[in-house]
């Protein structure tokens, strides 16, 4: 088990979301994981578009990105409620790995994603 997998298990192993995600992903092929990544990247690109065009966090395009983000998680991993998504958004700015993922796309994107999710 990798350090990452151990961290995930220790932080969320007793949650329903973790159990649901583990159950789903245990059946996935490489093609399934690739498709999940495509859906996640598509949602991220919607955020990139909205942020890059200086659209307000509550604009229609930003809202579309928020919904696509939540739907991708729900489709591939676990049922992601609005409240769960808000908790993820906190992690996107507080955990340097997530912050680097978003800010690696466009500097400031992590904060925009957080704010757009919280504006819903």
* pLDDT for 4 beyond 70: no
Distant-in-sequence, close-in-space partners of 92: CB < 8 Å, separation ≥ 6:
98, 99, 102, 110, 113, 114
Q: For residue 95, what pLDDT is reported?
A: 93
Q: Is the dihedral of CA 87, 89, 90, 94 positive or negative?
A: positive
On the question of pLDDT at 102 being above 80, the answer is yes
Write down the pLDDT at residue 2: 54
Domain extent, residue 58, equals 30-118
Query: Domains in the chain: how many in total?
Result: 1
CATH number of residue 107's parent domain: 1.10.490.50
Q: Is residue 11 part of a domain?
A: no
pTM of the model: 0.88
Buried b (16+ CB within 10 A) or exposed e, 55-67: bebeeebbbbbbe
The 8-class DSSP code of residue 59 comes to S
Q: What is the pLDDT of residues 33-52, one digit of tens each?
A: 999 999 999 999 999 999 99
CA-to-CA distance for 5 and 10, rounded, in angstroms?
A: 9
Structural domain includes residue 44: yes
Question: What share of the chain in percent tops pLDDT 70?
Answer: 90
Which residue, among 22, 20, 16, has the nearest Cα to 1 in the 3D structure? 22
Q: Is residue 35 part of a domain?
A: yes
* In a domain? residue 20: no
Domain assignment present for residue 108? The answer is yes
Residue 5 within a domain = no
Helices (H) and strands (E) in the chain, counts: 7, 0
Whether residue 106 is contained in a domain is answered as: yes
* Token digits of residue 16: 């329903």
Q: How far apart are CA 91 and CA 98, in angstroms?
A: 7
- Of the pLDDT bands very low, low, confident and very high (cuts 50, 70, 90), residue 20 is confident
Where does the pLDDT of residue 9 fall: very low under 50, low under 70, confident under 90, or very high at 90 and above? low
pLDDT band of residue 76 (cuts 50, 70, 90) is very high
> Quick one: pLDDT band at residue 13, thresholds 50, 70, 90?
low
């Amino acid at each position: 088990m990798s350090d990452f997998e151990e961290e995930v298990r220790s932080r969320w192993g007793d949650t329903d979301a973790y159990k649901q995600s583990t159950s789903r992903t245990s059946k996935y092929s490489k093609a399934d994981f690739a498709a999940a990544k495509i859906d996640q990247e598509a949602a991220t690109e919607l955020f990139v578009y909205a942020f890059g065009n200086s659209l307000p966090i509550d604009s229609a395009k930003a809202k579309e990105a928020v919904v696509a983000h939540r739907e991708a998680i729900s489709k591939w991993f676990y049922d992601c409620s609005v409240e769960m998504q808000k908790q993820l958004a906190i992690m996107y700015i507080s955990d340097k790995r997530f912050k680097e993922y978003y800010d690696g796309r466009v500097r400031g994107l992590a904060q925009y994603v957080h704010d757009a999710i919280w504006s819903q």
